Amino acid sequence: DAGITQSPRHKVTETGTPVTLRCHQTENHRYMYWYRQDPGHGLRLIHYSYGVKDTDKGEVSDGYSVSRSKTEDFLLTLESATSSQTSVYFCAISESGTVRDSNQPQHFGDGTRLSIL
């Protein structure tokens, strides 16, 4: 399995509190992604990174920020959590950034289940 560790795996918190999720990889891959998974929506891209300190928004980025200060870590922060951000969050990594041209598919972590009360 690809070396991806998400932490924490489960978290329950209250509305209005800040939350940071961590994705750590040991593969030295350039691209990292944060998705959220919700019933009826599949996975939706929140933010992604194409290098250290290089990040861009996905389709559901409102209310989220990210940081990548070193290759192996990609942090997702909810500055002031809301109940609508209750979800399962997945990190993914990719060596080349394009699944089409690479024999290495986009690898996913095991997810973080976040509940905001």
Partner 1 sequence: GDSVTQMEGPVTLSEEAFLTINCTYTATGYPSLFWYVQYPGEGLQLLLKATKADDKGSNKGFEATYRKETTSFHLEKGSVQVSDSAVYFCALEDTGRRALTFGSGTRLQVQP
Q: Tell me if 97 contacts partner 1 by CB under 8 A.
A: yes
Interacting residues with partner 1 between 54 and 93 (CB under 8 A): 56, 58-59, 90, 92
Residue 61 beta carbon to partner 1: minimum distance, rounded to whole angstroms:
12
Q: Which of 81, 85, 109, 116 binds partner 1 (CB under 8 A)?
A: 109
What's the start-to-end Cα distance of the chain, in Å? 34
Min dist CB 5 to partner 1, Å, is 11
Cβ nearer to partner 1, comparing 5 with 77: 5
Candidates 82, 94, 86; CA nearest to 23 is 94
In angstroms, the Cα distances linking 36 to 3, 45, 103, 106 are: 20, 7, 25, 15
> 11 phi and psi, to 5 degrees?
-155, 135
70 vs 100 by CB, closer to partner 1: 100
- Using the rule CB under 8 A, is 42 a contact of partner 1? yes
Binding site for partner 1 (CB under 8 A): 4, 31, 33, 40-45, 48, 50, 56, 58-59, 90, 92, 94, 97-100, 105-111
